[in-house]
Amino acid sequence: MPDENRDIPIASAVLDYATYDADGLPPWVAPAEELIAARAKPKTIRKFFRKTEEAVKYFAKSMRRRFSLANVGDDCVACGTSPCPTVVGVQWMVRMPLKWKQIKLSNDQPRAKFVTHHAMCPACLERWSRSLARIKTARMAQNIAQWTIFALIILLPRALPRNGAASAWRAVLWPTYIVVIYVGLLVLRVWSKRRTPKGIARTLPPKLQFVSIEFFDDRERLNDAAAGLPITGKA
């Protein structure tokens, strides 16, 4: 399990708002870090930044720091096997709604992607990958059903005689269309959350969107690569 406090600077009494890193963000915002460590919703840190865009980028920066390769624990986050010699890199996306004074005509929310590192054995990664493949297939099936029903709503009335049958079919298809969209999305979201390894789910804040498994490799090889050393052999 990652140690959230390892290699993280101690919060100073004065916030470092005046000093910015090369990425244009303050290196350490103590109250924001406290909320992130407590697994609060990402949007709760907006009040410490002038713009939501800065808040979402800082959140991603903090998560990269907390779940860096150097902070990976010894136990597999899924089954607890120790020591676990392999590490998985998982990419996530965080979104934040704009502050009221930042509301724009566009509905796009500021977002940022980041990668977290976790110890995971090959067997657990294989099981998780199979679950993700099933979820992807289910999402494709939902999209096909959604667009098929929508096409029927548009085209079926033209093929039926004008005797009320078209209206009856539409009265049935419209609720079905809505159910397929919203209930389908809810089921897929719950399914994806339940299939996320518990060791990952209980250490990350809520409201994060899984993007992909970025890489899976031997811990020593990754450490050598991070240190700029030549990598030999194959994981």
pLDDT at 7: 47
* Both structure tokens of 102: 């930042």
Q: Could you tell me the two tokens for 125? A: 């990664």
* Single-letter residue type at 226: A
| pLDDT at residue 182, rounded to an integer | 86
| Nearest residue to 2 (alpha-carbon basis) of 89, 114, 121, 117 | 117
Strands 111-119 and 209-218: unpaired
The answer to whether residues 1 and 75 touch, using CB atoms and an 8 Å cutoff, is yes
Q: Three-class SS string for 171-198?
A: HHHHHHHHHHHHHHHHHHHHHHHHHCCH
User: What is the amino acid identity at position 84?
Assistant: C
Provide the residue-wise pLDDT of the chain in tens; the chain has 235 residues.
Answer: 445 444 444 333 334 444 566 677 888 999 999 999 999 999 999 999 988 899 999 999 999 999 998 899 999 999 998 889 999 999 999 998 876 655 555 557 889 999 999 999 999 999 999 999 999 999 899 899 989 988 888 877 776 666 666 677 777 888 888 888 888 888 888 888 888 998 899 999 998 999 999 888 888 887 777 666 554 433 3
Distance CA 219, CA 85 (A): 6
Q: Which residues pair with 114 in a beta bridge?
A: 92
Residues 20-32 as b/e (b if ≥16 CB within 10 A, e otherwise) read eeeeebbebbeeb
- Cα 90 from Cα 74, distance rounded (Å): 17
Look-up: residue for tokens 């980041």? 114
Structural domain boundaries in the chain: 1-120+206-235, 128-196
The residue among 30, 55, 53, 37 whose CA lies nearest residue 45 is 55
